[in-house]
Amino acid sequence: MDINNKVVIITGATSGIGAACARTFGKAGARVWITGRSQIKLDETLLMLQREGITCGGVVCDAADSEQNEQMVKEVCQKFGGVDVLINNAGISMRALFRDLNLSVFHQVMDINFWGTVYATKFCLEEIIKNKGAIVGVSSINGFRGTPARTAYTASKYAMNGFLEALRTEVMKLGVHVLVVCPGFTASNIRNKALTADGTPQKESPRDEEQMMTADEVAQALLKALLKRKRDLVLTRQGKLASFLNKWIPGIMDQVVYNHMAKEKDSPFN
């Protein structure tokens, strides 16, 4: 697959992995269209991309809003003439025990992570089929292995993985490539913005962000996997090990994951 001059939509691209993907794909020659929920952050990111000589555009779009997604796709088609690649990156996390969790938080996480992927994919699909392009889902190791205190996040990523796996078999004879990317722990602001039991952001990450994979490393690996038309991409040694062991010793993994998460700063188990 040649990414040069291709139109790439990246949702949730004003920070973290999304912004890194915008830079990485833009430097590889793609025309990049980004979305985000903040006009200020969107403008800042577009300015950064333009300063690096990247052809880009973008629009404020709430991933959880079907109508905004439909309008977003119409705008990129008007501006850039179509869609070749969609990277479903918009996402939010949470951290609270399910028994304490307000169900509105569960809905919010599912609306952004799962339904956001469904909406963007639905409205891009005909263009991507026409151009024999690609659909990418930025999922998580949580899409293979659930973790405590992250029930809504886990559910959203399992749902995303299942949706994209089913879609892959629908479009594989039409020349469309579907890639599911599952990063391990990645340094970004997703944990700072993770929702607590009542829906307020936790603000401080419970993990050592400096020891994690960087967003730029994820973006580079994602681009390489897309160019090689890989089916799945699981990142970090820890992520690969968790995915493998969960298939063979799930009962033992329950205890391993519990012990690991219980050691987090301000763990809800303490």
Catalytic member of 119, 153, 158, 258: 153
What is the rounded CA–CA span in Å between residue 44 and residue 212?
25
Bridge partners of residue 187, in order along the sequence: 214
Beta strands 7-10 and 213-214 are unpaired
Q: What are phi and psi of 208, to 5 degrees?
A: -80, 100
Write the Ramachandran bin of 262: left for phi over 0, alpha for psi from -120 to 50, otherwise beta: alpha
CA distances from 43 to 34, 37, 189 (A): 10, 11, 18
| Residue 200 contacts residue 147 (beta carbons within 8 Å) | no
CA distances from 184 to 92, 163, 233 (A): 15, 20, 11
The question of whether 153 is a catalytic residue gets the answer yes
Bridge partners of residue 178, in order along the sequence: 135
Q: Is 93 exposed, middle or buried (0-12, 13-18, 19+ CB in 10 A)?
A: buried
Annotated catalytic sites, by residue?
153
